[in-house]
Structure 1
Amino acid sequence: MHPSVHAKANPDKPAIIVAETGEAISYGELDAASNRAAQFFRSRGLGHEDVVAFMLDNTPQYYGLTWGAQRSGLRYVCISSRLTQDETDYILENSGAKMLVVSASLGDAALQLTTGIERFAMGGDIAGWPRWEEAVAAMPPTPVADERAGVDMLYSSGTTGRPKGVRVPLPDDPAIDAANSLVMLASAVFQIDANSVYLSPAPLYHAAPLRWSMTIHRLGGTVVLMKKFDPEAALAHIEKYRVNSSQWVPTHFVRMLKLPEAVRSRYDTSSLKVAIHAAAPCPIPVKQAMIDWWGPVLFEYYAGSEGNGMTFISSVEWLTHQGSVGRPILGAVHIVGDDNETELGPRQEGAVFFESESVFEYHGDSEKTASSRNSKGWSTLGDVGYLDEEGYLYLTDRKSFMIISGGVNIYPQEIENHLVTHPKVADVAVVGGPHEEMGEEVIAVIQPADMADATDAFREELGAYAREKLSGVKIPRRIDFMEALPRHDTGKLYKRLLRDQYWARPN
């Protein structure tokens, strides 16, 4: 299916509603906007396989661009507004983008860019840039003559190094309305259809919000788009729009659970039938609390932008396999040892590899692409975990975040999952810092719910709290406080930035 199909059948139905304002874009309006975008791309000489880039706030006009690129056979790069000028220029150059559209609200950052490609401002003015709305106004709202299904080319958020672009082949079936694996998963597993009202609380430049909301459009539902996540506002939007499906990251859950009970109970969330979550493993107490609150409507999957495999678990399964991210529904999961070849048995921890027919590469980085494979052709996202006797996968951390202290491998995730449940902790990151004797020491960087708690007494309290559940080697040797952790809007930490600070200025 495709939004163009729904535009013909039900042109006045809302395809997008802006949660905060109620502004609505109908399927007819979305179809016309995407056609004008496609026509404009062609008028600028952009053909199949060419690349366009978007750096935008969450705006309903985002979808006119992405669907315009999709129906004209382009690759579209959605760039995080949180990246540095250097990282953004790198993505534009690395991707080979020939056109860039930027929200006017990001004008200061846009004017620092040095990559010389055609540029347009959306939703306002950027000095010296043409306005997108004026550029496309004269374009016909009809399909281009050579429609062909395009695909996104998304870049990592740069949390562990340079952003890397995931390049997959254009779909074998050129039809713009051909089904894909996510459409089949959404309809078969989550019963998402034209009656779905889907809340999207995260930035659209991230893979999951972008792909899931576009899947809703394929199936004819309505996307309720939040401009920016706010925990109480999210609950209010669920009640107001009678949201029945949604997609989250664990950070969203933590922030909603930290709301006072009186606030949480103020809103009716009973319309929710599906609350999908991914992006990072969810701490067991957090997920249990969400199921207790919302009921068994949480569905978790583990996958990456690379599309090389996917696991899935329902609430009912999770209650008997707490901490698991499920069993594979796309590809097969293998746990391998340090040689990246030897397959390990149940409950033996190692690198997580997928065996599947899906093909991807890291654009312009053959070394990175090669390092993600083993000799059997299996591929990895860089995560570490184990399988139980029933084939359920449990993730323990990312290999790149591992701390080696006194020759012992320590994964921060377990420590973070425990400390974040402390009632006075809003957020936490655990990194390894230099230690003269042990090589590395465990450092916990805490974002208190109230910075007035950033005291030596609270450090002692957190140390005691850690010792309640963690073995001695995992107890943080140093606890620092930070007003706000450098967390991506998608929920991922820029942990590399934190770690680099300690190694650059050890003390």
Structure 2
Amino acid sequence: MSEPNVTALTPLAFLDRAAKTFPGKTAIVLGGRRATYSEFAAEAAALARGLARLGVGEQDRVAYLAPNVPELLVAHFGVPLSKGVLVALNTRLASAEIAYILAHCDAKILVVHESLLDSIRPIAGELRLSTVVVIGAGDIAGVDAVEYRKILDHNAHEPIDWTVRDELATISINYTSGTTGRPKGVMYTHRGAYLNAMGELIHSRHTSGSVYLWTLPMFHCNGWCTPWAITAIGGTHICLEAIDSEKIWTLFRTEGGSHFNAAPTVLVMLVNSPSAAALPQAVTVTTAGAPPSPTIIEQARVLGFEIIHVYGLTETYGPYSVCETQSDWAELPATEQARLAARQGVGMIHTDGVRVVDKYMTDVPADGSTIGEIVMRGNGVMKGYLNDPAATEKAFEGGWFHSGDLGVMHPDGYVELRDRSKDIVISGGENISSVEVEQVLVSHPAVLEAAVIGVPSEKWGERPKAFVVTKPNAQVTPDELRSHAATRMAKFKVPDVIDVIDALPKTSTGKIQKFQLRDREWSGHHTRIQG
């Protein structure tokens, strides 16, 4: 930018400031490993120099396949400091999926953690990379790999520029799940990452005293921009390589964990853990990924968790809206408070707000019942899809990003998600919200989790079917669950079939993979035996 009093926005500035303001403060923890903010910044700078030595230049892609380890946190600064673009890969991807993404984004360098080398070995011969870097020990047959520590260039005499010329340049690429086709590369900008990180700080109520537990994968929407946010405020990152409810409860107690982000399924796991008990410190959990049921919100609050409910997509840097709590809600019964808190709310402070529209892009009535598509725009929305102008144009038809999510607008201006467009069950011409049915089933004291999908029906086209996981040592029959649901919703919404199963298929971030259930049920349109 040419104006003398305008500086291009970039989250890189957050680490530069934190290292100068909190040089000796603990910034990163993983088990016995600890690093101060001064050390954090020094490693990010050393990584940037090292990547530049390996040939990384303006907008070159640097891919990372790693769990929530300090090296991936450092990469959120070190890669863009080298002028490159960070591509953090989902650690649960199959080898073929990894190969596709590396080719699609034209990655120059792949950094892989030693625990994930088996994901790379089957595709080693296909890789078209200049360098493969391994965090830890291990090798890949047929590939010349270098150990991570050896690429770091600690030449402190070579200055690092913590600014950028173009705030709209791509800082990272995050790939969608690809459940309805090839995954798409969602481009984030320096400006968007900066502003979304600031939004996270405000809405999740972080301070320099925040001790953030990394329960959310950093590869997922760049951890909802939290690597940048916690660093901006000078908080402490507690890295966690895998979700383990007992370990999380231990870290709450030993490290003084004050904040974490998680899908509702992770909340369910924590609330039902044998170690679950109220903590001496306040704990704020920001939850998204699926609409949390009022039941789990109530249970979490009993343990002293403060729930911040947000909503968003990969295309919106993670969270885009937040269910802001109103002061007069405190006068309502706990169940009513939880019901209101389960809504997706209003646009976060850095956004252009959220709308619910019909197919003509006209806002639906704010009556809490008329269903439309949720659309968004502004600083909280992606730059576009990498190498896919047609998909980008379609996504922004009418000037707003089309989420593909269906919802209603309430009279108070709060949005409530009713379903993904593909998850709505259309039975005999009636729309049935799978979310509504799931929340009713989870309100039964024996139910831990539930997923509802539409299954083939000769008479109605499709009917809702439920898959239920019960709490440990709890027993309940399908008939009991149907009777429970029938007292809380219209009869036509009650599932004809309820399967009690051991576990639901989930992504690495805890989202239930309904497409797996749906694919199985629609294969051959076979007749099911009712429970």
Bin for the TM-score computed over the shorter chain: 0.7 to 0.9
Aligned to 2:361: 341
State the 1:242 CA deviation. Answer: 1.7
Asked whether the equivalents of residues 443 and 477 of structure 1 are also in contact (C-alpha less than 8 Å), the reply is yes
Aligned to 2:176: 156
Q: State percent identity of aligned pairs.
A: 27
CA 116–420 in structure 1, closer or farther in 2 if over 3 Å, else same: farther
Aligned to 1:218: 232
Aligned to 1:119: 132
Separation (CA, whole Å) in 1 of partners of 2:280 and 2:478: 39
Aligned pair 1:182/2:196, yes or no?
A: yes
Asked whether the equivalents of residues 383 and 397 of structure 1 are also in contact (C-alpha less than 8 Å), the reply is yes
Aligned to 1:374: 397
Aligned to 2:55: 45
Aligned to 1:301: 310
Once the two structures are superposed, the pairs formed by residues 103-114 of structure 1 within 5 Å of their partners are 103-113=113-123, 114=126
Residue among 445, 451, 465 paired with 1:429: 451
State the 1:31 CA deviation. Answer: 1.8
Separation (CA, whole Å) in 2 of partners of 1:283 and 1:452: 19
Aligned to 2:4: none
State the 1:33 CA deviation. Answer: 1.9
State the 1:223 CA deviation. Answer: 0.9
Aligned pair 1:135/2:150, yes or no?
A: yes
State the 1:187 CA deviation. Answer: 4.4
Separation (CA, whole Å) in 2 of partners of 1:121 and 1:104: 6
AA partner of residue 354 (structure 1): M
Asked whether the equivalents of residues 72 and 147 of structure 1 are also in contact (C-alpha less than 8 Å), the reply is no
Separation (CA, whole Å) in 2 of partners of 1:322 and 1:4: 37
CA 50–138 in structure 1, closer or farther in 2 if over 3 Å, else same: closer
Separation (CA, whole Å) in 2 of partners of 1:137 and 1:374: 44
Residue among 274, 280, 285 paired with 2:284: 274
State the 1:233 CA deviation. Answer: 2.8
CA 410–248 in structure 1, closer or farther in 2 if over 3 Å, else same: same
State the 1:496 CA deviation. Answer: 1.6
Aligned to 1:362: 385
Separation (CA, whole Å) in 1 of partners of 2:157 and 2:78: 11
Asked whether the equivalents of residues 372 and 382 of structure 1 are also in contact (C-alpha less than 8 Å), the reply is no
CA 115–452 in structure 1, closer or farther in 2 if over 3 Å, else same: farther
1:373-421 C-alpha deviation (Å, 9 max, x unpaired): 232x011221111111221111111112122222222221112222234
Aligned pair 1:201/2:215, yes or no?
A: yes
AA partner of residue 363 (structure 2): E
AA partner of residue 122 (structure 1): I
Separation (CA, whole Å) in 2 of partners of 1:140 and 1:387: 56
Aligned to 1:419: 441
State the 1:15 CA deviation. Answer: 1.0
Separation (CA, whole Å) in 2 of partners of 1:169 and 1:254: 34
Asked whether the equivalents of residues 447 and 483 of structure 1 are also in contact (C-alpha less than 8 Å), the reply is yes
State the 1:23 CA deviation. Answer: 2.4
Aligned to 2:108: 98
SS in 2 for 1:493: coil
Asked whether the equivalents of residues 278 and 300 of structure 1 are also in contact (C-alpha less than 8 Å), the reply is yes
Residue among 22, 25, 35 paired with 2:45: 35
CA 225–463 in structure 1, closer or farther in 2 if over 3 Å, else same: same
Once the two structures are superposed, the pairs formed by residues 2-13 of structure 1 within 5 Å of their partners are 2-13=14-25
Separation (CA, whole Å) in 2 of partners of 1:63 and 1:143: 22
AA partner of residue 140 (structure 2): A
Aligned to 2:268: 254
Residue among 179, 186, 191 paired with 1:166: 186
State the 1:55 CA deviation. Answer: 0.9
1:236-290 C-alpha deviation (Å, 9 max, x unpaired): 2222222223222211221222235xx423xx52322532222221111211232
Aligned to 1:486: 505
Asked whether the equivalents of residues 159 and 495 of structure 1 are also in contact (C-alpha less than 8 Å), the reply is no
Aligned to 1:264: 276
1:54-74 C-alpha deviation (Å, 9 max, x unpaired): 111221221222221122232
Separation (CA, whole Å) in 1 of partners of 2:55 and 2:357: 47
Separation (CA, whole Å) in 2 of partners of 1:446 and 1:379: 34
Aligned to 1:63: 73
> What TM-score do you get using the length of structure 2 for normalisation?
0.84
CA 367–412 in structure 1, closer or farther in 2 if over 3 Å, else same: farther
SS in 1 for 2:209: coil
Asked whether the equivalents of residues 407 and 418 of structure 2 are also in contact (C-alpha less than 8 Å), the reply is yes
AA partner of residue 274 (structure 1): T
CA 210–324 in structure 1, closer or farther in 2 if over 3 Å, else same: closer
Aligned to 2:253: 239
Structure 1 residues not aligned, in runs of 5+ = 173-178
Aligned pair 1:86/2:96, yes or no?
A: yes
State the 1:229 CA deviation. Answer: 1.9
Separation (CA, whole Å) in 2 of partners of 1:92 and 1:481: 39
CA 471–142 in structure 1, closer or farther in 2 if over 3 Å, else same: farther
AA partner of residue 299 (structure 1): I
Asked whether the equivalents of residues 323 and 341 of structure 2 are also in contact (C-alpha less than 8 Å), the reply is no
Asked whether the equivalents of residues 125 and 131 of structure 1 are also in contact (C-alpha less than 8 Å), the reply is no
Q: How many residues align?
A: 489
1:219-245 C-alpha deviation (Å, 9 max, x unpaired): 211011222222333222222222223
Asked whether the equivalents of residues 506 and 513 of structure 2 are also in contact (C-alpha less than 8 Å), the reply is yes
Separation (CA, whole Å) in 2 of partners of 1:450 and 1:145: 54
AA partner of residue 497 (structure 2): R
Separation (CA, whole Å) in 2 of partners of 1:310 and 1:384: 15
Q: Which moved more, 1:391-400 or 1:161-170?
A: 161-170
AA partner of residue 15 (structure 1): A
State the 1:352 CA deviation. Answer: 0.8
Separation (CA, whole Å) in 1 of partners of 2:493 and 2:158: 59
> What TM-score do you get using the length of structure 1 for normalisation?
0.88
Q: Which moved more, 1:36-45 or 1:301-310?
A: 301-310
Asked whether the equivalents of residues 323 and 346 of structure 2 are also in contact (C-alpha less than 8 Å), the reply is yes
1:4-33 C-alpha deviation (Å, 9 max, x unpaired): 333344433211112xx2421222322222
State the 1:80 CA deviation. Answer: 0.8
1:289-341 C-alpha deviation (Å, 9 max, x unpaired): 3223316x32222223323882222445663834322222321222111x242
Structure 2 residues not aligned, in runs of 5+ = 1-12, 165-169, 330-336, 527-531
Asked whether the equivalents of residues 38 and 143 of structure 1 are also in contact (C-alpha less than 8 Å), the reply is no
Asked whether the equivalents of residues 203 and 322 of structure 2 are also in contact (C-alpha less than 8 Å), the reply is no
Separation (CA, whole Å) in 1 of partners of 2:407 and 2:424: 12
CA 159–235 in structure 1, closer or farther in 2 if over 3 Å, else same: farther
Asked whether the equivalents of residues 16 and 162 of structure 2 are also in contact (C-alpha less than 8 Å), the reply is no
Asked whether the equivalents of residues 104 and 124 of structure 1 are also in contact (C-alpha less than 8 Å), the reply is yes
Asked whether the equivalents of residues 420 and 426 of structure 1 are also in contact (C-alpha less than 8 Å), the reply is yes
